[in-house]
Amino acid sequence: MSHALSALDHAIRGDPGGISFLEQTASIYVLDAATTPGRPTTYGWWNFLNDALNDVERYESEGRHHPVAGASSNNQNLDGHVRLLATITRRVARRPPSSDRRLVGTCLANASMGHSMNLLANPDMAQSLLGNNAELRERNMGRIASIVFDFSFHRRMSRDSNGIMMQYPRSSFSDPIAMEQLCGVVAANAVSTGPAAVRHLVSDWIVPSSDSLAPLAVVAIMSHIAMEAVGKGCPAGTKDVIRSLVPSVFKCAIGPILIDSLRESDERGDDAMIETGNISVSATGGGNTEHRTAAWALRALESWCKANSIGAVKLRSIFSSTNINILEAIADALYSNAEVMIDAVSDLIETLLHHDAKDASVTMGISIAGSVMNNCLPADIANQFLLAQQMTGENEKSRISILSELVSAVGLQRFRFAERQSNGDNAVCRCLARTAAAVLLESQDLIKNGTVQASGLLDLLFKAASHPSVYVCGIAVEALAAIAPSNSELSTRLLPYLQGKAIIPFHLIRDVDGGLDDYTNFRDRVLADALIACYTGCSTFYLESCGSAIEEFCQSSPSPHLPYQLEAALFCMIAVSERASKEPDKQVLCGQLEKMVSALAKNSFSTTSHPLVMAKMCRFINKYATSISSCQTKSVFETASELVFTSFNRGLNEYSTHGQLASTYGTSPLSEASNAFKQLLCSSPAQFSTPAARSALENAWKMPYACQQIAIEDREMLCSGLCSVIVSLPSEQWNASLDALAQPILSCLNVVTKEADQVTGSAGEAGQRENIVAPIMNRLSNEIRLLAAVVRCFIQADVSQIFSGGNRAIVIARHRNALVSLLHKSWIYLTHIGRKYCSYEVIATSIGQLLTDSLSLYGSEEELPLLLEITGLAKTSLSVVAKAKNPTSLVPLLSFMQKFMYLHGSNIEPSPRNNAINEPIQVMAKNLMLISYGAVRSCKTSQDNDVSQGIASPMFDTLSSCAKKCPIFLLTLSRDSQPLGEVIRSSIESAPMTLKSNEMDIVLSSINFLKELVSSLTSLSLEALGEVQRDAIVSVIASIKHAVQTDVIITAITSTCVGISPREVLQPLTDLMRVILMFSQWSDIEASVSIAINCGQFQLGDEAKSVALQAFKKCTESEYITANFRKMISDMWEMHQTDDTGTIAGGEAVLDFVQRYKGG
């Protein structure tokens, strides 16, 4: 195998060396001055392409690639090699000749620096090398054009005079995928060369000779030309040329080829599958050569219509002077059974309707403007306006006529849809559903007002909605759902279809191949949205239908299918719960809820004992808990509570058998029962304040300590509901009730802590001891996490009702004292655990959460001792983590620091009042920040880069809170014997690097920190400080300002304006630039902005650079920055998002950019 084919072969096999070689060959040129001394040559992609084409032709000419009947199966197949070769060549062909010349010039300049002879000093030699490369490119393009237009590469099967099928020797160039890419190469080369080359290729070559050229190549090249012409690198003037060529291309090339290929594809009929030969049907989309030719003709029409904003009205007008009825041809194409063809016609119809809709909007605008300005215009302008109205009115009539034809034509496909479905042809069914959906959405207004009759179209969509494939029915369901809210009749008709689709197909119950996942995604997204739309259109019927279904299924005799039918009915109610619960009049809803809950209770878990149904029933009660509590029949709430409590107990007893359910559906009866408990308890806590109810809840709360099977998330949910019940009690009972709630937690902490101390203090191998300690740490962590949930939930539990009425001060004091008392009782355990075990990530996480939740208890200066206790535990934990140098344990404590600085930073900021009152907390804050800073530094030096990067984001978040709430404190923060502002200086130095991080959270956190810092410096006042301290801080600010106006803004501009940054950080980086620009004078940042804009990666050319520089300058001179600036940055970023090897400077997109923003 030759060197070219060998390189392609290595790349196909995934060899990094082969891939790298091809990428470099496609991107650069190298100089060969050694092979022929005195006659250097360059080597680039065009040389490689020439060698590869020679190798493929030689390989095939030797008979090693002809898989005809009887040929050996051991013959090497080069289809993949040619496909890869064509794909890369198309990418390189997008590079204009001028870019090729620059790359060769760069090669010569680089070679001159490393060789004794200076090639640039010899202009004749340099020009010769440039000319040779351009000539080689043209020669390669000629070879590729001769391949794609050669009929022999498009024929694989034919009948002889006796009607016997004959097979041509097959070439890798005949491969449909390779042929498509090679046609794309011809088109890309023409477009990148310039408008004149496009006109020459189309007008002087293809259109006049379209009858004698391979038709598939003609339409494929035409399609690619239109697609390339709307690309970012399209040279200026190309769109105008494309627009001028539309009539001749449509009338003389695409239209006739489409008609002929449609006719011939019908005549060929059953030969379709025979002719695919060795090409897989899935790869080519099925069908014979005529089908593929017709498909490419349709795609060419679609590409040219999209590039020139042509809708069906304009398209029919263009063909009006010919004998081609283009709309009839498009309708005929719908009858094809080839996926590649019907998929193309679906795309074309969608594009035509889209552009017609845009034109209809213009028509409406002109009509409105005419009615408003009828008597305000001069006579000549009024006449012109009247003429425009008449023209747009005629276009609107044509649009309605075309839509009516399309509605009728697509509606007739309902009979074929049923036929294709019975044959298992999902591809055709999907395309027909797609087309029908597009036509329905564009004609819905005409259907509503009766202008267009769409019974056939709707019948087709309803057939599609009942199709077993979610990829077919999903299309129809989405379309029907779009018009259901405003059409009660259609909603009523649609609902049974949706209810049927909500039943999980029985054959998918134990599916392990992804079918159940696909169905679940469809049901949770597409079907749920459609149910909401249906409810909007017929709410009463919807509720009554679901209520009747639940009653029927609860009363039916058990069967294997019944649980899934009941689960589906509950799903339908859950889907609309948010909308139904917000209805002002809940009379119908409450009536149906009473029926449903009663039916579920009467079932006595004969059907509802199924874990899937039990989980869905609990979720149903969860979603409607508030509405159930407001029902007139009060017993319905008790019944719902009993159902949930029974489900909770059953879920606990059967926990081990529900693991598969949780992994498949993401839920379990126990989890759903816990969630439902929370909602019931929160919606009507008073109903659970009776001794019997409280006893039942106490048993449920203590159950995990006897049987440790309940997930911590479920226990937290239950905790939230119990806190709501406690809050509903008289305030004088809060302290005792909260202590009773926390008592099992504290007892468990006591026991498990002693067990941990015993294990860690025992002798034995470290690894064996660690295996024993790990589950103990998890148990401790869960109990601390639960304690944090008690604190958090009690603080949040319906606070608005707590403080309404009575003596507000007394109630507030009792609320706080209950929590403080609980914390004091737990502090001895927490301090011990933090001191000994906070190096474990799970312990640090739970303690960090508890400390964070406890911060909001501090509300006044009198409560300073409590805050010092909280921060004291934080200091103990931070010190342990810093000593252990464990970054994963540091993260949750840094999150506490961020919350602490945000909530109490204003008390920490140096000022005469704070210095006198809050000195203890100022000292504590400084110690905590310095411990955190030291821990971060030690983790970065002791751990690998990936691990240490995990702590960068929470540290930046902490610094952001400092910059926002206490900037002076941050500016002066430094360790002993270190210069003032050590922390902020170090953070600013690392910012440019973190802005380039691959971790999204690190980038966003560092951006937010820099924005907060610069914003604070903009309005910072140092007047309250002494002169010495003020001068020292000014020095720190100067160093920050210099870093921000140099490294930071250079990084931000290069990341955005040359398209390096991910899309997710584009807007935040732009906002950062705006803040810096508002903060700066142009003289301070002019050099930095110029460096960033003039970097080698900026591909938009000198005019765009000038426009960008002027925009940046204007931002520094204005009091505010308009949204236009953000759009400009976004446009520059978008234009750089291309995998082309060339530049886009001088293209249509860049010229539009310059005109849009020049002087603005």
Q: What is the DSSP string of 576-613?
A: THHHHHT-S--HHHHHHHHHHHHHHHHTTTSSTTSHHH
The per-residue DSSP string of 1033-1083 comes to HHHHHHHHHHHIIIIIHHHHHHHHHTT-S-GGGHHHHHHHHHHHHHHS-HH
Please give the pLDDT value at position 257: 95
C-alpha to C-alpha distance for 852 and 842, rounded to whole angstroms: 15
Query: Is beta strand 157-159 parallel, antiparallel or unpaired with respect to 165-167?
Result: antiparallel
Residues 6+ apart with CB under 8 A from 280: none
3-state SS, residue 918: coil
C-alpha distances (whole Å) from 864 to each of 114, 819, 922 are: 72, 16, 11
Output the CA torsion sign for 221, 226, 228, 233. positive
The closest alpha carbon to 815, from 882, 897, 733, belongs to 733
Please give the pLDDT value at position 67: 38
C-alpha 802: how far from its chain's center?
A: 42
Backbone φ/ψ region at 911: left (φ over 0), alpha (ψ -120 to 50), beta = beta
C-alpha to C-alpha distance for 955 and 1006, rounded to whole angstroms: 9
The closest alpha carbon to 439, from 401, 479, 470, 473, belongs to 479
* Diameter of the chain measured on Cα atoms: 110
Please give the pLDDT value at position 99: 87
C-alpha to C-alpha distance for 639 and 603, rounded to whole angstroms: 12
The Cβ of residue 692 has, within 10 Å, a number of other Cβ atoms equal to 8
C-alpha to C-alpha distance for 122 and 106, rounded to whole angstroms: 15
C-alpha to C-alpha distance for 727 and 1057, rounded to whole angstroms: 55
C-alpha distances (whole Å) from 992 to each of 65, 1035, 1050, 1058, 1108 are: 55, 21, 9, 16, 22
Q: How does DSSP classify residue 205?
A: I
Residue whose tokens read 């809210």: 485
The Cβ of residue 218 has, within 10 Å, a number of other Cβ atoms equal to 27
The closest alpha carbon to 223, from 251, 195, 208, 242, belongs to 242
Residue whose tokens read 């012109």: 384
Please give the pLDDT value at position 708: 58
Residue 772 burial (10 A CB sphere; 0-12, 13-18, 19+): middle
C-alpha to C-alpha distance for 1089 and 1083, rounded to whole angstroms: 10
Please give the pLDDT value at position 166: 47
Output the CA torsion sign for 1098, 1101, 1102, 1106. negative
Do 83 and 178 touch, CB atoms closer than 8 A? yes
C-alpha to C-alpha distance for 285 and 339, rounded to whole angstroms: 6
Do 490 and 537 touch, CB atoms closer than 8 A? yes
C-alpha to C-alpha distance for 924 and 909, rounded to whole angstroms: 13
Residue whose tokens read 């009042």: 913
> Mean pLDDT in runs of 10 for the chain (1160 residues)?
87 92 92 78 93 92 53 60 95 90 86 62 81 94 94 66 53 90 96 94 94 94 94 86 95 95 74 38 54 94 94 92 92 89 93 84 54 57 56 77 92 92 91 94 88 92 95 96 93 96 87 79 94 96 96 92 94 95 90 94 85 92 92 89 87 67 67 86 79 79 74 84 84 90 93 91 69 90 94 76 63 87 93 93 95 85 84 93 89 94 90 79 93 87 56 93 94 90 92 90 94 93 82 92 95 92 93 93 94 88 91 85 86 81 72 83
Which helix (H) or strand (E) segment is 988 a member of? helix 982-995
Residue 689 burial (10 A CB sphere; 0-12, 13-18, 19+): middle
Do 57 and 68 touch, CB atoms closer than 8 A? no
Residues 6+ apart with CB under 8 A from 422: none
Please give the pLDDT value at position 157: 53
3-state SS, residue 246: helix
What helix, strand, coil percent values describe the chain, rounded to 5? 75, 0, 20
3-state SS, residue 905: helix
C-alpha to C-alpha distance for 311 and 354, rounded to whole angstroms: 7
Structure tokens at 970: 């941050």
**What residues form DSSP beta bridges with 1147?**
235
